[in-house]
C-alpha cells in the first residue's frame, strides 16, 4: 500500500515544493499517512477545482516556467500593458535563459565561438532549470528550417517559434486559446476577407497575428499587410486596445511589430531575425514570450465585455454569421422562411436602401440598412451584408436613463420611418437592435417585415411581437 506522502516523495516534483504539495493535499482531506488510492478517490470535483490553481502552482510545470522568468502570470497579467509610445524598439531578452535538453545545448554550443559567447544569456541546461516540457518545446522549435520554398513552409517553420509556443505556454495554465491560419486560398478570398496568415485567439478575440510571404524580397509586403489588413478598427472587436502585436515573415526572415489602432502606423519591437541561425531562433522565442505577456495584459484590461469574434463564423440554429473587420455577412437558408414572399422582401429592402440619411450618417436614425441589396443565390441561401454593430442580446442593456431614452427614441424613430413608407417590421426585440460604434441604436433583421394593411401568411400577434 502506497501512502500519499510516499507518492509525493517519489514524484518528479522539485524537492523544495514537496512539503507544500503535501500540505495542500492534507487540507483537502488527504493526509500523508493515508492510502493514496482511497484518499484521492474521496476528493470531489468541486474540491479539485477550488484547489486546482494552488496545486498547479506547487507542482513542477508552473515552477519551471516562473523559475526561468519567462512567465509570471500571477503578477504580470494584473499590470497595465505598455502604451504604444512606451513600447521599446527591441523587447528585452528574458531575465533568465530558456531551458534546453543537454544534447541540444551541447550541439549548439559547439557550432561556433559566437554561440559559446551568447548562449548563457538565452539558454541553459535543463538540469539547471528543471523545465522539461518547456525544454522540449524549445528543442522542437530549434530544428533547422524545412527545405524547400513556399508560403506554407514559411508558416510551418515559424509556427513552433511563435504561435505554437504561445499555445503551449497558455495550455500549461489552462488558458483557452485558438490558433489559426489562412495560408492557401486559390480563390483569392483571403484578400477580400483580409484574414491574417497566422492568428491567435483568446475567447474568440483576435489577440495576435502574423503575415507570411514565400520570398525574401516580399518581406516589406508582409509588413505592409500587417496594417493594411487592420484599417477598420471597431471597438466591437478591440475595445480600448491601442495596438495589436504581430509579426512579419518572408522566407527565413522574421520581425515583430506593433500596429497602432486602425492601422495608422506600425513600429518594430524586435530585431530582424534570421531563422537559419539557431541563436536567432532562440531570440525569437524570448520575444514571443515577452509579446505574450503584453497580449495577456491587453486581454485582462482593454477588451470589451462582449466582443464580436473577428474573422470567425458563428453558427446559429437557422443561420451563420461571419464577422469581418468592416461588415457582417448573414447567410440563412431560404427554407428558414417558410412563409416568406421574395417579392415583398425585395420591396422592403429596396425601400430601406432608398431612405435618405445624409452624408454625415451611415444609416437613417433607428434603422440599420444593408451595405448592398440582399440576394437569394442559386444555392437557395439568403445573404445580407450589414455594417458592424453589437446586438443588445449580447451586450449589457443601457443602465443609465439617458442611454435608455436614446435607445427608445432611436427605435421609435426607425419604426416611424418604416410606417411612413407602409412597411411593418414585425420582429422588434432586443436581439434585433444594434448599438453602433457612435452610440446610436438601430433595428435590423427585416426578413419578417411586410407591407402595411396586407394580410400576412401567419399570425403576427402569436408569432411575433406587435408594434
Query: Is the separation of the CB atoms in 91 and 115 below 8 Å?
Result: no
pTM for the structure as a whole? 0.66
Find the Cα–Cα–Cα–Cα dihedral 100, 103, 109, 111, rounded to 10°.
-130
Q: Is the same domain home to 326 and 296?
A: no
Q: Is the same domain home to 266 and 135?
A: yes
Q: Is residue 63 part of a domain?
A: no
Q: Is the same domain home to 281 and 337?
A: no
Final residue before a domain boundary, out of 242, 276, 301: 301
Q: Is residue 67 part of a domain?
A: no
Q: Which of 175, 176, 169, 143 is nearest to 157 (CA)?
A: 143
Query: Is the separation of the CB atoms in 247 and 255 below 8 Å?
Result: yes
Q: Is the same domain home to 334 and 270?
A: no
Q: Is the same domain home to 429 and 449?
A: yes
Q: Is residue 326 part of a domain?
A: yes
Q: Is 305 strand, coil or helix?
A: coil
pLDDT at 210: 93
pLDDT at 231: 66
Residue spans of alpha helices (H) in 265-390: 278-301, 342-354
Give the Cα-Cα-Cα angle 338, 456, 385 (nearest 5 degrees).
Answer: 55
Query: Is the separation of the CB atoms in 314 and 223 below 8 Å?
Result: no
- For residue 45, is it left (φ>0), alpha (ψ between -120 and 50) or beta? alpha
375 forms bridges with which residues in the sheet?
A: 383
Residuewise pLDDT in 10s, the chain (467 residues)? 567 777 677 665 666 667 777 777 777 777 888 775 555 555 554 444 444 444 444 333 333 344 444 444 434 556 789 999 999 999 988 777 787 777 777 777 777 777 777 777 777 676 665 566 677 778 888 876 555 566 667 777 898 999 998 888 887 777 788 887 765 444 444 444 566 788 898 877 889 999 999 888 999 999 998 888 766 677 667 777 889 999 999 988 999 999 988 777 899 999 999 998 888 999 999 999 889 889 988 888 887 767 777 777 888 877 888 888 778 899 998 888 766 678 888 888 888 888 876 555 567 888 888 888 898 889 999 999 988 887 776 555 777 888 889 999 999 999 999 999 999 988 888 888 888 767 788 898 888 888 888 766 655 444 444 44
Q: Is residue 431 part of a domain?
A: yes
pLDDT at 59: 38
Q: Is residue 80 part of a domain?
A: yes
320 forms bridges with which residues in the sheet?
A: 315, 331
Q: Is the same domain home to 175 and 229?
A: yes
Final residue before a domain boundary, out of 58, 84, 104: 58
Residues in Cβ contact with 36 at an 8 Å cutoff, skipping those fewer than 6 apart: 2, 3, 4, 6, 7, 30
> Which residue is it, cell 545545448?
105
Q: Is residue 308 part of a domain?
A: no
- Alpha carbon distance 263, 286 (integer Å): 26
Q: Is the same domain home to 372 and 283?
A: no
pLDDT at 49: 44
Q: Is the same domain home to 374 and 432?
A: yes
Domain total of the chain:
3
Q: Is the same domain home to 345 and 281?
A: no
pLDDT at 372: 87
pLDDT at 16: 64
pLDDT at 458: 56
DSSP state of 239: T
Cell of 459: 399570425
What CATH number is attached to the domain comprising 362? 1.10.510.10
Q: Is the same domain home to 395 and 263?
A: no
Q: Is the same domain home to 221 and 338?
A: no
Final residue before a domain boundary, out of 276, 301, 326: 301
Q: Is residue 306 part of a domain?
A: no
Q: Is residue 295 part of a domain?
A: yes
- Alpha carbon distance 151, 249 (integer Å): 10
- Alpha carbon distance 439, 403 (integer Å): 9
Q: Is the same domain home to 216 and 237?
A: yes
Domain that holds residue 139: 73-301
Amino acid at each position: 500500500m502506497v501512502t500519499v506522502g510516499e507518492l509525493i516523495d517519489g514524484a518528479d516534483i522539485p524537492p523544495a515544493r514537496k512539503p507544500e504539495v503535501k500540505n495542500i493535499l492534507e487540507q483537502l482531506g488527504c493526509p500523508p499517512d493515508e492510502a493514496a488510492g482511497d484518499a484521492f478517490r474521496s476528493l470531489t470535483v468541486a474540491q479539485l477545482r477550488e484547489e486546482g490553481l494552488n496545486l498547479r502552482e506547487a507542482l513542477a510545470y508552473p515552477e519551471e516556467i516562473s523559475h526561468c522568468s519567462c512567465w509570471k502570470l500571477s503578477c504580470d497579467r494584473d499590470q497595465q500593458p505598455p502604451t504604444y509610445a512606451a513600447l521599446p524598439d527591441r523587447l528585452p531578452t528574458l531575465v533568465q535563459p530558456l531551458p534546453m535538453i543537454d544534447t541540444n545545448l551541447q550541439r549548439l554550443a559547439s557550432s561556433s565561438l559566437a554561440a559559446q559567447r551568447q548562449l548563457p544569456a538565452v539558454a541553459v541546461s535543463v538540469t539547471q532549470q528543471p523545465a522539461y516540457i518547456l525544454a522540449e518545446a524549445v528543442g522542437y522549435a530549434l530544428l533547422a528550417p524545412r527545405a524547400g520554398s513556399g508560403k506554407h513552409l514559411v508558416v510551418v517553420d515559424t509556427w513552433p517559434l511563435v504561435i505554437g509556443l504561445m499555445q503551449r505556454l497558455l495550455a500549461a495554465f489552462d488558458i483557452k486559446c485558438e490558433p489559426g491560419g489562412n495560408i492557401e486560398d486559390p480563390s483569392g478570398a483571403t484578400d477580400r476577407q483580409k484574414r491574417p496568415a497566422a492568428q491567435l485567439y483568446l475567447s474568440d478575440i483576435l489577440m495576435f497575428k502574423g503575415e507570411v510571404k514565400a520570398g525574401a524580397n516580399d518581406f516589406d509586403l508582409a509588413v505592409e499587410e500587417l496594417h493594411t489588413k487592420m484599417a477598420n478598427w471597431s471597438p466591437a472587436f478591440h475595445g480600448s486596445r491601442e495596438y495589436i502585436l504581430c509579426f512579419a515573415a518572408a522566407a527565413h526572415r522574421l520581425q515583430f511589430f506593433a500596429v497602432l489602432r486602425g492601422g495608422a502606423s506600425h513600429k518594430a519591437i524586435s530585431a530582424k531575425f534570421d531563422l537559419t541561425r539557431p541563436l536567432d531562433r532562440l531570440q525569437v522565442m524570448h520575444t514571443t514570450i515577452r509579446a505574450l505577456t503584453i497580449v495577456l495584459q491587453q486581454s485582462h484590461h482593454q477588451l470589451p465585455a462582449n466582443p464580436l469574434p473577428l474573422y470567425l463564423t458563428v453558427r446559429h440554429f437557422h443561420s451563420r454569421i461571419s464577422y469581418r473587420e468592416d461588415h457582417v455577412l448573414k447567410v440563412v437558408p431560404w427554407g428558414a422562411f417558410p412563409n416568406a414572399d421574395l417579392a415583398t422582401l425585395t420591396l422592403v429592402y429596396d425601400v430601406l436602401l432608398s431612405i435618405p440619411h445624409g452624408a454625415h450618417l451611415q444609416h437613417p436614425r433607428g434603422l440599420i440598412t444593408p451595405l448592398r441589396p440582399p440576394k437569394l443565390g442559386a444555392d437557395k441561401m439568403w445573404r445580407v451584408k450589414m455594417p458592424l454593430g453589437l446586438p443588445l442580446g449580447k451586450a449589457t442593456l443601457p443602465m443609465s436613463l439617458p442611454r435608455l431614452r436614446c435607445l427608445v427614441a432611436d427605435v421609435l424613430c426607425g419604426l416611424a420611418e418604416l410606417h411612413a413608407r407602409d412597411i411593418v417590421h414585425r420582429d422588434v426585440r432586443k436581439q434585433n437592435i444594434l448599438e453602433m460604434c457612435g452610440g446610436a441604436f438601430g433595428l435590423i433583421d427585416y426578413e419578417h417585415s411586410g407591407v402595411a394593411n396586407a394580410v400576412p401568411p401567419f399570425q403576427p400577434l402569436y408569432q411575433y411581437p406587435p408594434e
